[in-house]
Amino acid sequence: MRKHAGMKATAVLLSAAMLVACGGGQGSTAGTTAAGSETTAAGSETTAIPDSGSSTTAAAEAAGFFNEEGYPIVNEPFTLTIGYTADAGQGDWSTMDWWQRLAEESGITIEFVEYADGNAVSLMYASRDYPDIAIHAGSDKQIADAAEAGDVYNLEEYLDYAPNWKEYLDANPLVKASITFPDGHIHSLPAIQDRILYEMRDMWMINGKWLDELGLEVPTTIDEFYEVLKAIKANAGKGSIPENVIPYYVRGITNNIGGALDLINTYGIRVMAESSFATIDDNGKVEFNYANPDIKEPMEFIHKLVDEGLISKDGFTDDRPQAQAKSSSTKEPIVACYSEYAGGGNGEVALMPLDSGNGKTPVFRAQTSTLMRNRYTVFKTCEHPEIAMRFANMIAEEDWTVYNFFGEFDTYVDKNDDGTYFVKDRSDLGQLFNYSPQNWAPELMTRELSERIIYAEGHVDYGRNEAANQYSEWMIPKKNLYPTFVYSDEKRDRISELAGDITPYISSTLSSWALEGGIEEGWDAYIAQLNSLGLEEYLDLLQQEYDRFLSNAQ
């Protein structure tokens, strides 16, 4: 598109000339810009957007403009502009039932501004053309920069208007530490999905139907596991086991989704594949088990399985949809054992961590996704942050949170008198994406609330919940996970730079050991290479940041 590049500047000149023409057209075509254009006026000449909130609040309250308690939140027409980036595949937020109902009950008119991708979000921050509220729009750095320029409210000052959040954050200092920015303020609220099944990433599954056919038990030790895989391979083509059966399918070693981490964890080695690859030991020190010689044992076992054709080599180069096509999404299973979000309904049973015989207690993979940051940032363009916070509080109410995640009451969820919620089975789960923003909104699913949710048998979360409860005794505890929080400005870039060198090197080296063996001979060179990539500095930075995080929690 050569011409496009050349004509931008010309276009600027021309569009100036066409302004008269546009004035007429804008009214009819620009639904959401009306509010946006008003707010940009503030950013045009001044260096900081004036804090209009505090000065007008008293007057607004006196006039009974908004209610401090109860619903509706506002008595007179009031508009909040919400800027967002949708989840992949998600419907248009402005047409979602959930938002429309929220708007109805709160009395607030919501105008949505959608940013198609990161470029559009960057332009929003660069031009300071802020919406009132950003939901999942903006990185830590963007929000921190905007806060430094004085464009973002410090939400902790307004927590009195959001008692649900206040109570939760007071009771959970670690969550508060996670969302506190390095400047000591809270600039955005998170989404909390503290269900036990969210602590688990994937289930480790094995085809129970085939085990029954072969008269085998679900394995509990590594040796039994090996024998089971061998038996399945040996009986390929018999009964319902297909000719081309893959006894154990892994998608690489370190992929958080579909990798072989379950098997390594079962040797009692805490390894994670969330962004930092690091974990925390019992003394609060950052540990890095990918550089721990203990990992040799499981890696050698994996190589043995690959060598004997019990693990498919294709898996190491497959992408996600390919993995799904072979495992959970197929009606005629070809994989006996795999790790996935949920089974394909082919008789899979949850495989519990195995006894490796090395004397260590097995562990099971956990994840930090129970907390998702940067889901609700309020900009100074919002004249009434109190209303914005009351609105956030409304979203965090139990009913709205349940409705957001599981669907409409009566149709999909029954609320019982004893405070429990019954989630009905539904086949059109994918449709939820078009009715509510799901984990993109600042929902507040506390552990306590999650324990009052009952899933219908057959609902995908029913099986996951059961499995998670079984796995929970092995699951790596939260204190051993490297938490998600806002890195300080000066360390953030260096950490991601180092991680960008170190983690791909680990992934490719482990994969080649799995495929070709040679871990014993290659180990020293591997450690030397990790050190030359800056592993020591990396762990040191992670430690410093972790210590700062802990100090925020006090």
Partner 1 sequence: MRKIIHNDKVFTVFNYILAALFLLIALYPLWYVVICSFSGISAIVTGKVWIVPKDVTFDGFKRMFEQKEIWSGYRWTILYTLVGTGINLVFTIPAGYALTRKTLPFRRAINMYFMLTMFIGGGMIPTYLWMDRLHLVNTFWIMVLMGAVSVWNMIICRTFFESNIPEELIDAAKIDGGSEIGIFARIVLPLSKAILAVMTLFFAVGHWNSYFTALIYLRDRGRQPLQLVLRTILLTSQMMTEGSGEQFDQLIFELQNMKYCVVIAASLPVLIMYPFIQKYFVKGVMIGAIKG
- Binders in 458-497 for partner 1, by CB under 8 A: 460
Contact between 85 and partner 1 by CB under 8 A: the answer reads no
Alpha carbons within 13 angstroms on the beta-carbon side of residue 454 total: 9
d(CA 499, CA 528): 16
d(CA 54, CA 63): 15
Give the residue among 260, 246, 256 at the shortest CA–CA distance from 337: 246
Single out the residue of 46, 109, 329, 420 in contact with partner 1 (rule: CB under 8 A).
329
Contact between 5 and partner 1 by CB under 8 A: the answer reads yes
Residues from 10 through 39 that contact partner 1 (CB under 8 A): 10-12, 14-16, 18-19, 21-22, 25-26, 29-33, 36-37
Q: Whole-number minimum distance, CB 194 to partner 1, in Å? A: 13
* CB of 31 or CB of 284, closer to partner 1: 31
Pairing verdict, β 133-135 and 371-378: antiparallel
Contact between 3 and partner 1 by CB under 8 A: the answer reads yes
Q: Whole-number minimum distance, CB 400 to partner 1, in Å? A: 19
Give the residue among 83, 81, 80 at the shortest CA–CA distance from 137: 83
* CB of 224 or CB of 466, closer to partner 1: 466
Runs of H (alpha helix) within 436-484:
447-450, 460-471
Single out the residue of 56, 63, 68, 123 in contact with partner 1 (rule: CB under 8 A).
123
**Amino acid sitting at position 458:** G
d(CA 202, CA 266): 14
d(CA 233, CA 216): 14
Residue 337, H or E segment: strand 335-340
Residues from 413 through 442 that contact partner 1 (CB under 8 A): 429-430, 432-433, 439
Quick one: residue 192, left, alpha or beta (phi over 0 = left, psi -120 to 50 = alpha)?
Answer: beta
Single out the residue of 114, 156, 224, 425 in contact with partner 1 (rule: CB under 8 A).
114
Contact between 527 and partner 1 by CB under 8 A: the answer reads no
Single out the residue of 113, 189, 363, 533 in contact with partner 1 (rule: CB under 8 A).
113
Q: Whole-number minimum distance, CB 312 to partner 1, in Å? A: 12
Task: Give me 101's structure tokens.
Answer: 């109902």
* CB of 38 or CB of 399, closer to partner 1: 38
Residues from 36 through 65 that contact partner 1 (CB under 8 A): 36-37, 40, 44
Q: Strands (DSSP E) along 107-187, which ranges?
A: 108-114, 133-135
Q: Whole-number minimum distance, CB 352 to partner 1, in Å? A: 21
Task: Give me 49's structure tokens.
Answer: 């957007």
Residues from 346 through 385 that contact partner 1 (CB under 8 A): 367, 369, 372
Residues from 184 through 203 that contact partner 1 (CB under 8 A): 193, 201
Contact between 129 and partner 1 by CB under 8 A: the answer reads yes
Pairing verdict, β 78-84 and 133-135: parallel
Q: Whole-number minimum distance, CB 508 to partner 1, in Å? A: 18
Give the residue among 247, 537, 281 at the shortest CA–CA distance from 272: 281
Task: Give me 154's structure tokens.
Answer: 């410090």
Task: Give me 474's structure tokens.
Answer: 């092995």
Say whether 378 sits in a helix, a strand or coil: strand
Binding segment (CB under 8 A) for partner 1, from list 7-15, 170-178, 210-218, 281-289: 7-15
Give the residue among 105, 109, 166, 80 at the shortest CA–CA distance from 377: 80
The 249-268 site mask, x for binding partner 1 (CB under 8 A), equals -------xx-----------
Single out the residue of 119, 411, 551, 554 in contact with partner 1 (rule: CB under 8 A).
119
* CB of 114 or CB of 294, closer to partner 1: 114
Q: How many residues bind partner 1 (CB under 8 A)?
A: 75
* CB of 24 or CB of 70, closer to partner 1: 24
Are the CB atoms for 206 and 351 separated by under 8 Å? yes
* CB of 361 or CB of 508, closer to partner 1: 508
Angle, helix 519-532 to helix 489-516, in steps of 10 degrees: 160
Contact between 76 and partner 1 by CB under 8 A: the answer reads no
Alpha carbons within 13 angstroms on the beta-carbon side of residue 282 total: 0
Single out the residue of 88, 237, 490, 532 in contact with partner 1 (rule: CB under 8 A).
88
Single out the residue of 52, 107, 238, 341 in contact with partner 1 (rule: CB under 8 A).
341
Contact between 234 and partner 1 by CB under 8 A: the answer reads no
* CB of 139 or CB of 322, closer to partner 1: 322
Binding segment (CB under 8 A) for partner 1, from list 87-95, 234-242, 350-358, 409-417: 87-95
* CB of 16 or CB of 62, closer to partner 1: 16
Task: Say how many residues make up the chain.
Answer: 554
* CB of 434 or CB of 529, closer to partner 1: 434
Q: Whole-number minimum distance, CB 106 to partner 1, in Å? A: 22
Q: Whole-number minimum distance, CB 198 to partner 1, in Å? A: 8
Binding segment (CB under 8 A) for partner 1, from list 5-13, 303-311, 468-476, 536-544: 5-13
* CB of 48 or CB of 63, closer to partner 1: 48
Q: Whole-number minimum distance, CB 121 to partner 1, in Å? A: 11
* CB of 193 or CB of 401, closer to partner 1: 193
Q: Strands (DSSP E) along 168-300, which ranges?
A: 188-193, 203-207, 246-248, 279-280, 286-287
Are the CB atoms for 330 and 344 separated by under 8 Å? yes
* Rg (alpha carbons) of the chain, rounded to whole number: 26
Single out the residue of 2, 70, 217, 524 in contact with partner 1 (rule: CB under 8 A).
2
The three state secondary structure string of 152-167 is ECCHHHHHHHCHHHHH
**Amino acid sitting at position 161:** Y
Please enumerate in sequence order all residues whose Cβ is within 8 A of that of 243, keeping only pairs 6 or more positions apart, or say none. Answer: 236, 237
